[in-house]
Amino acid sequence: MQAPKKHTGSPAAQVCACVSAAILSLLFLATAPVHAQLPAGTSDASSSAPTQQQDPLRAQAATALDQRDFPTALKLLTPLAAQNPHDAHLLYDLGFTQDALDQTSAAAGTYRLAALADPKFFEPHLALGLLLARTGNLTEAHSELAAAVALNAPDPSLKARAFRALARLDQQAHPAQASAELLEALKLSPETPEDILLSAELAESANDLPAAEATYRRILKADPANPDATAALIHLLLRQNKPADAESLLTAALAQHPNDITLNAQLASLYADQGKFAQAIPIVARLHTAQPANLAITRLLARLYSRNQQYDQSDPLYATLILAAPHDPTLLDDRADALIHLHRAAEAETLLKRAVDQPTAFPSREDFALAASHLAFAASENNDPTTTLQALALRATVQQQSPSSLFLAATAHDKLHQTKEATDLYKQFLSVANGKFPDEEWQARHRLITLEHSK
């Protein structure tokens, strides 16, 4: 019996994930470096502390910040902040400087101290929220940005920036809230091309695909070379099953951006969805050669090789990916699937045992069930009937029995000399096989005769 087919999702689906990640990364790109958009606290120091403003060290720190001499500013601000632990503006300046020097952990802590020292001080909340978003701590980032928009800002454009960052954070899970936040930003500052792009993405998140497409096309009419809008529109066209429109747009876009990763990956996926692996694989292979450390490209190439039944090519790529993410159950399952096709069942069984030991880590229950099916098959090939039955029991918690699972269970019981169970399962298999599994059906009938004579 053949191994259960691996439903890894089409390369187009994989690219959709890459596109989504690229779109979300706009948030992080837009928030780094934070010191390029936010004012230093020293220049806004409270007039209620004239003696501090006259401090020569403080004046030198302000000059260093104005000149963007951050190493000098750090040397001056560190002792000043230690001497004035409740001065919110000094603390903000120090966090700002640490942020500029990519000392993100220290900057986050200092921004928090500044916000505690003066809860109504807008800039630390905004700066901390942007920093946390940039480093992937999205829940805390949202809290800080929400705190920022509740305060008075020294410049409306800064509050608009906070609203835009919130909209990006809410885009996937709360598109309606994100739309409201974007509208608040537009009340405070003029619309930007990034705002139009975000509004299109929000329309797509709300499943208003015609509105999203119209908005993407509006962006491209004004800026035909915009790669982000191009990639997003292509993603949308593929989602709407308009491959001809997508291919035409991709061809034109790649003429202008021949090395764009997302566009190349989308074209490869479009070809793969049409079964044109000979055209798809070289595109991604070139990307992989240019960026061998890019795990998303490596994973896409591995899946394309597997879809084209080039398992000897996909296996080493999956092995590399597992070194970087040893606990990713889908990667373990992907490589095991390749190993099964390479007739290396023992290795596959070892990987699959690791995968099914963490059922909640799978993207879906169906993915877990498929991994359990693969384990049952690999264990059967490896003459391990006990593990086969254990894997089938795991699969049964998610999916009903299939002809394949019935046959595997029957052969496992047969190997364990459990005659009654094997006989019952062979009969159940034959009752549903309906000629679709001729080799297995012949084997089941032969074993039933043998088992009957052995009584």
- Please, which residues have CB within 8 angstroms of residue 58's CB and are 6 or more apart in sequence? 42, 45, 52, 76, 80, 90
Read off the pLDDT band of 38 (50, 70, 90): low
pLDDT in tens, 349-399: 999 999 999 999 999 999 999 999 999 999 999 999 999 999 999 999 999
pLDDT the model gives residue 29: 36
Give the pLDDT band of residue 23 (cuts 50, 70, 90): very low
pLDDT at 7 over 80: no
Alpha-carbon gap, residue 34 to 14, rounded angstroms: 31
Computed over every residue of the chain, the mean pLDDT equals 87
Is it the case that residue 53 has pLDDT exceeding 60?
A: no
Residue 35, both tokens: 């010191």
Q: Is 38 left (phi over 0), alpha (psi -120 to 50) or beta?
A: beta
User: What's residue 21's pLDDT?
Assistant: 41
**Tokens (6 digits) for 50:** 């004239």
Contact between 360 and 380 under an 8 Å Cβ cutoff? The reply is: no
Closest to 272 (Cα-Cα) out of 9, 5, 6: 9
10 Å CB burial of residue 413 (0-12, 13-18, 19+) is: buried
Does residue 208 surpass a pLDDT of 90? no
pLDDT at 14: 46
* Residue pLDDT, tens place only, 114-173: 999 999 999 999 999 999 999 999 999 999 999 999 999 999 999 999 999 999 999 888
Element (H, E) at 195: helix 193-205
How many secondary structure helices (H) and strands (E) does the chain include?
25, 0
In sequence order, what DSSP letters do the residues of 38-88 get, joined into one string?
A: SPPSGGG--TT-HHHHT-HHHHHHHHHHHTT-HHHHHHHHHHHHHH-TT-H
Q: Is the pLDDT of residue 8 over 80?
A: no
Question: What's the farthest any 2 CA atoms get from each other in the chain?
Answer: 104
Band of residue 15 on the pLDDT scale cut at 50, 70, 90: very low
More confident residue, 90 or 50: 90
pTM, to two decimals: 0.62
Q: What is 309-399's CATH topology? A: 1.25.40
Report in angstroms the alpha-carbon separations of 246 from 10, 14, 85, 199.
16, 16, 58, 21
Specify the pLDDT at position 55: 81
**Range 280-286 average pLDDT:** 94
> Residue 27 has what pLDDT?
38
First to last CA, the chain: 27
* 259 pLDDT tier (thresholds 50, 70, 90): confident
Domain ranges of the chain: 309-399, 401-455
- What are the tens digits of pLDDT across the range 327-339? 999 999 999 999 9
